[in-house]
A and B are shown apart, each in its own frame.
Chain A
Amino acid sequence: EDQVTQSPEALRLQEGESSSLNCSYTVSGLRGLFWYRQDPGKGPEFLFTLYSAGEEKEKERLKATLTKKESFLHITAPKPEDSATYLCAVRGGYGGSQGNLIFGKGTKLSVKP
């Protein structure tokens, strides 16, 4: 069964303190790994798509990387406005669902000034 596990569940950082969020996945034939940001009471906001091991994507202070078993979201010198829940999702696998994304529970990031 396709599965996504995110760690840690919650992360508190001081402004400027860099760190990484982890997303471990089990899927039969990865067809894409996705990172979303979700603010309280709002829908998820798309950040990145990664397709193959070794791929990296960057956006401002965020950098996403992918291996065959996990993905990392690196946050460099975070600011308070980066506080949110970060969700990881996968789409797969071969012969399985064509439509849905399988999400992890998310990592709630708090950045204190």
Chain B
Amino acid sequence: DTGVSQNPRHKITKRGQNVTFRCDPISEHNRLYWYRQTLGQGPEFLTYFQNEAQLEKSRLLSDRFSAERPKGSFSTLEIQRTEQGDSAMYLCASSFRGSSYNEQFFGPGTRLTVL
């Protein structure tokens, strides 16, 4: 399978715990994006990387959220001290220069439930 992969697919945690999600982009895609989607809404942008550099962060990305892409390949998204409002689907996408970075291909998402 050469698509974007995300792990875990589901995560249930208690309020106040830390969680970390992983995204593996399509190989040779040097841009990687994180989005958050709640029920009945479209995805909302969180942040994106070009190679290992984090180029943009949304106002939605509070201080409790941190994302890394240390070697320009996979990325992790960590949420510290989770709150019930963090419950959502966290989506990862990747794109490549050949499409002017316009076409973003999404992974299956990680569904987070905070109890």
Also in contact, A42 and B108, with CB within 8 A (given A98-B56, A105-B40) = yes
The answer to whether A99 and B33 have CB atoms under 8 Å apart is yes
Complex Cα distance, B103 from A45, in Å, reads: 11
Q: How far is the CB of A48 from chain B (nearest CB, A)?
A: 10
Is B96 interfacial (CB 8 A cutoff)? no
- B48 interface residue per 8 A CB criterion: yes
A residues in contact with B67, CB < 8 Å: none
Given contacts A46-B104, A105-B40, A99 and B45 within 8 Å (CB-CB): yes
Q: Is B25 positioned at the interface, with any CB of A under 8 Å from its CB? A: no
- Pair count A-B, CB < 8 A: 61
Does B105 sit at the interface, judged by CB under 8 A? yes
* Residues of B63-115 contacting chain A, CB below 8 A: 91, 93, 99, 101-109, 111
B16 CB within 8 Å of chain A: no
Q: Is A93 an interface residue (CB 8 A)?
A: no
Q: How far is the CA of A103 from the CA of B45 in the complex (A)?
A: 9
Instruction: Return A8 CB to nearest CB of chain B, in Å.
Output: 14
Q: Which of A42, A46, A101, A104 has the most CB of B within 10 A?
A: A101
Q: Is the CB of A100 within 8 A of B58?
A: yes
Which listed residue, B44, B55, B102, B107, touches A103 by the CB 8 Å rule?
Answer: B44
| Cα-based distance from A42 to B109 in the complex (angstroms) | 7
Q: A99 and B42: CB pair below 8 A?
A: no
Q: Which residues of A contact B (CB under 8 A)?
A: 4, 31-32, 34, 36, 41-46, 49, 87, 89, 91, 97-106
B interface residues (Cβ-Cβ under 8 A, vs A): 4, 31, 33, 40-45, 48, 55-56, 58, 91, 93, 99, 101-109, 111
| 22 examples of A-B residue contacts, CB within 8 angstroms | A36-B106, A42-B109, A43-B91, A44-B43, A44-B106, A45-B106, A46-B104, A46-B106, A49-B99, A87-B42, A87-B43, A89-B42, A97-B56, A98-B56, A99-B31, A100-B33, A100-B45, A100-B48, A102-B45, A103-B43, A105-B41, A106-B42
